[in-house]
Homo-oligomer: A and B are copies of this chain.
Amino acid sequence: MVNETQHTCSASSSSKSDGGSSSGSESSKDSSRCSTPVLDADRHERLREKMRRRQDSGDKWFSLEFFPPRTANAAVNLISRFDRMGAGGPLFIDVTWHPAGDPGSDKETSSMIIANTAVNYCGLETILHMTCCNQTKDDITGHLQKAKRLGLKNIMALRGDPAGEEWEEEVAGFNYAVDLVKHIRNEFDDYFDICVAGYPKGHPEAESYEADLRHLKEKVFAGADFIITQLFFRSETFLKFMKDCQAIGITCPIIPGIFPIQGYHSLRQLVKLSKLEVPQEIKDVIEPIKDNDAAIRNYGVELAVSMCRELLDSGMVHGLHFYTLNREVATTEVLKRLGIWKEDPRRPLPWAVSAHPKRRVEDVRPIFWASRPKSYIYRTQEWDDFPNGRWGNSSSPAFGELKDYYLFYLKSKSPREELLKMWGEELTGEESVFEVFTCYITGEPNKNGHKVTCMPWNDDPLATETNLLKEQLEKVNRRGILTINSQPNINGKPSTDPIVGWGPSGGYVFQKAYLEFFTSSEIVTALLKVLKKYELRVNYHIVNVKGQNITNAPDLQPNAVTWGIFPGREIIQPTVVDPVSFLSWKDEAFALWIEQWAKLYEEESPSRMIIQYIHDNYYLVNLVDNDFPLENCLWQVVDDTFELLN
Contact = CB atoms under 8 A, between A and B. Distances in A.
Interface of A: 1-5, 7-12, 29-38, 388-393, 395-396, 491-492, 505-508, 510, 521, 524-525, 528, 536-537, 539, 542, 544, 547-560, 563, 565-571, 573, 576, 579-580, 619, 624, 626-629
A537 B1 contact: no
B560 A33 contact: no
Contacts of A10: 555
A536 to B, nearest CB: 5
B556 A570 contact: no
Given A33-B392, A388-B393, A548-B4, A573 B576 contact: no
Given A491-B492, A557-B570, A628-B565, A36 B2 contact: no
A386 to B, nearest CB: 13
Given A31-B395, A33-B555, A569 B580 contact: no
A557 B34 contact: yes
A537 B568 CA distance: 9
A640 to B, nearest CB: 18
Nearest to A522: B1
Given A29-B395, A34-B555, A567 B548 contact: no
A553 B6 CA distance: 11
A288 B544 CA distance: 77
A392 B34 contact: yes
A1 B619 CA distance: 13
A560 B553 contact: no
A553 B38 CA distance: 12
Contact of A5 (B396, B492, B550): B550
B556 A34 contact: yes
A568 B563 contact: no
Nearest to A506: B536
Q: Which of A393, A524, A568, A576 has the most CB of B within 10 A?
A: A568
A565 B557 contact: no
Contacts of A559: 567-570
Contacts of A542: 2
A557 B33 contact: yes
A496 to B, nearest CB: 12
Contact of A11 (B492, B555, B627): B555
A576 B4 CA distance: 23
A528 B3 CA distance: 12
Nearest to A5: B550
B37 A506 contact: no
29 contacts: A1-B525, A2-B525, A2-B528, A2-B550, A5-B550, A5-B551, A7-B556, A8-B555, A32-B396, A32-B556, A33-B392, A33-B396, A33-B556, A33-B579, A35-B393, A36-B392, A37-B390, A37-B557, A38-B557, A388-B393, A389-B392, A506-B537, A506-B626, A510-B565, A536-B567, A539-B567, A554-B568, A560-B569, A565-B628
Contacts of A33: 392, 396, 555-557, 579-580
Contacts of A491: 492
A1 B508 contact: no
Given A570-B557, A570-B560, A492 B2 contact: no
A553 B549 CA distance: 46
Given A556-B7, A560-B570, A32 B492 contact: no
A617 to B, nearest CB: 11
Nearest to A28: B395
Contacts of A396: 31-33
Given A5-B549, A31-B396, A390 B570 contact: yes
Given A542-B2, A551-B7, A567 B537 contact: yes
A390 B548 CA distance: 34
Given A5-B551, A35-B395, A506-B536, 17 more contacts: A1-B521, A2-B528, A2-B548, A4-B547, A9-B555, A9-B556, A31-B395, A33-B579, A34-B556, A37-B557, A38-B554, A508-B628, A539-B568, A560-B565, A565-B626, A568-B624, A571-B573
